[in-house]
Amino acid sequence: MKKLFLFIVFFIVFIVLFSITAVDSEAKKDSLLVRIFEILRAKIGSGPDEIGAITPPEANPEGPMSFALGNEGEIYILDQLNSRIQVFKNKKCIRTIPLPTETAFLDIELLPGNKIAILDNLIKKSNLYFKLRR
């Protein structure tokens, strides 16, 4: 009886260890399918190629809250701290779109017809539209 009990315990431990190893190897296989690479790196600040960010020592950091991707590889970054939208392409800032300073923008979306919709937290209508000129 004692041998049977030891055999069952050994068998259960073996199954548990084998299943952990199998799960770990599956996770490794899945992680190999994902490629991670850097698309854009911008400096912090208010200069022409920079993005606004604040990192106070005893408060929550603030920085860009949203971005949208254009059809031609552009990255539109809502730089609300500097009241603008920064447009990057091929890792370079190609355009700056100024925004009104008396509001609090939260989100950006590109719309058909070269329009940009921006969610405004201070007004109830929620959207401000800009028509892009080429």
DSSP for 56-92?
-TTS--B---EEEE-TTS-EEEEEGGGTEEEEEETTE
Q: Which residues in the chain land under pLDDT 70?
A: 1-11, 13-14, 16-32, 124-134
Q: How far is it, in rounded angstroms, from Cα 122 to Cα 118?
A: 12
Q: What is the pLDDT of residue 118?
A: 87
Q: What is the pLDDT of residues 13-52, one digit of tens each?
A: 667 666 665 555 555 555 567 778 888 989 999 998 999 9
CA angle 113, 73, 41 (to 5 degrees): 130
pLDDT of residue 114: 84
The predicted pLDDT at position 33 comes to 73
Q: Cα–Cα distances in Å, from 61 out to 7, 19, 53, 81, 122?
A: 57, 42, 7, 12, 20
3-state secondary structure of 15: helix
Residue with tokens 């971005």: 67
Strand order in the sheet with 75-79: 66-69, 75-79, 84-89, 92-98
User: What is the reported pLDDT for 21?
Assistant: 57
104 and 122 in contact (C-beta within 8 Å)?
A: yes
In order of 8, 37, 61, 93, the CA distances from 114 in angstroms are 69, 29, 32, 19
